[in-house]
Amino acid sequence: MPYPRRIAMISLHTSPLATPGVGDAGGLNVYVAELARRLGERGLGVDVFTRRSDPGVPDVVHVNEYVRVVQVTAGPVAEIAKEQLPGLLDDFATAMEPQVADHQVLHSHYWLSGLVARTLRTRHQLPMVHTMHTMARVKNELRGDGHATEPDVRERGEAQIVADADILTANTTDEADELRRHYGARDDQIAVVPPGVDLHTFHPCDQPRSRAQLGVAQDAEVILFVGRIQPLKAPDVLIRAAARLVRERPERRRRLRLIIIGSPSGPEAGWAATLPRLAEELGIADVVEFRPHSPRAELFRWYCVSDVVGVPSHNESFGLVALEAQACGRPVVATDVGGLRHAVDDGATGLLVPGHDPAEWALAIGSILDDPEGSQWLGAGAAVHAATFSWSNTAASTLRAYAAAQRAYARSRHP
């Protein structure tokens, strides 16, 4: 069966046009934007359907010759809490329905979009590919103490999506195992499609020049966090680890800087306000700097400024921040969980920490800061490792997943 020529990609709750790090925008946005662009470069027509939340954005935004972002009106034309979106799924599917007739495959991202795709798959008899990005049962299993659980409606929705999707794409073999273990996905239903990294934007760079450009002292020891400010991402672990580094070696205070870049996100957005208070309680308010989200070109410079990038998430389906940092030649210290085990080559491009004990994080980060020669070796390995991931490869694997979905759907219609 030939590859499809036109794809209806659904990203209901967040637009690929949004800036990562703002609200619910993050790695999923980057994934959808980069994948759609690379598929368009192969001559596929891709329409990315997203919920209209900004009246100033045109109905259709042309990304390139073959890729469009289409605004779908469902509910108020405004930003609303993600928890309210399940009540708008039927409206979204109905509004989108007249526009999917000339597409050959539906590709949904995240569970809200997946439920819309289920409806359209039935009504239009189209093959369905779904990418989870994160899963409720995995997040609930790995959540930190006191953190909110994912709602039952999401767990039920994801189970329905797995039951109906023709192909499920997983970032890693670990994620494929989670789909089988938590949701009963079949082996022939899963395609492993690793994400990529934009190597044109993120690449090895000149640290002294970047520090001079952004006003960071040349002798500073810089730990960097990038991401949405929410309990799942656990930037508080880095604050506690930094406090321990200062406590163990007080002379380090003059040089040490922990820079946290990102904006509050999700139902626990108020949690972000506890972080400056935590830094003050631990006596390192002068060490920790909070910065809002940055455009990607500026974010590149902040990666370049850093000595080590921390990714202490409780769970990541892959961890694009870890990959971007490594593409810039920066060692990464990350939690030994989920996709981070694949994004970071432990001991060769950075270090994996088995949990969230600040003492263990301080030990790992300190070992990199205290060994400039070893840090350079890790950074060089990180750049080589990251270069093996490309969005072009992601697009090629996704095309194969689309063809597999067409075959699976044909078999289901004509056993």
For every residue of 278-292, DSSP letters joined together read HHHHTT-TTTEEEE-
Please give the pLDDT value at position 412: 86
Q: Provide the edge-to-edge strand list for the sheet that holds 350-353.
A: 288-291, 256-261, 221-226, 308-311, 332-335, 350-353
Q: How far apart are CA 92 and CA 345, in angstroms?
A: 41
Please give the pLDDT value at position 215: 96
Chain position carrying tokens 């819309």:
116
Q: How far apart are CA 18 and CA 15, in angstroms?
A: 5
List the beta bridge partners of residue 335: 353
Q: How far apart are CA 46 and CA 62, in angstroms?
A: 10
Q: Which residues of the chain have pLDDT under 50?
A: none
Please name which of 22, 37, 27, 134 lies closest in space to residue 79, comparing C-alpha atoms. 22
Q: Give me 11's structure tokens.
A: 């990203």
Q: Where in the chain is the domain with CATH 3.40.50.2000?
A: 6-196+390-413, 207-386
Q: Does the domain made of 207-386 have the CATH classification 3.40.50.2000? A: yes
CATH topology of domain 6-196+390-413: Rossmann fold (3.40.50)
> Can you list the alpha helix ranges (DSSP code H) found in 255-390?
274-281, 296-305, 320-327, 340-343, 358-369, 372-386
Please give the pLDDT value at position 362: 98
111 phi, psi to nearest 5 deg: -65, -35
Q: Give me 61's structure tokens.
A: 């935004």
136-190: pLDDT as tens digits: 999 888 776 667 788 999 999 999 999 999 999 999 999 999 999 999 999 999 9
pLDDT > 70 in the chain, percent: 97
Please give the pLDDT value at position 325: 97
Helix (H, G, I), strand (E, B) or coil at 249: coil
Please give the pLDDT value at position 375: 97
Burial of residue 318 (CB within 10 Å: 0-12, 13-18, 19+) is buried
Please name which of 333, 335, 330, 300 lies closest in space to residue 316, comparing C-alpha atoms. 335
Q: Give me 244's structure tokens.
A: 């321990």
Chain position carrying tokens 């040490």:
256
Please give the pLDDT value at position 295: 84
Cα dihedral 79, 81, 84, 89 sign? positive
Model confidence, pTM: 0.88
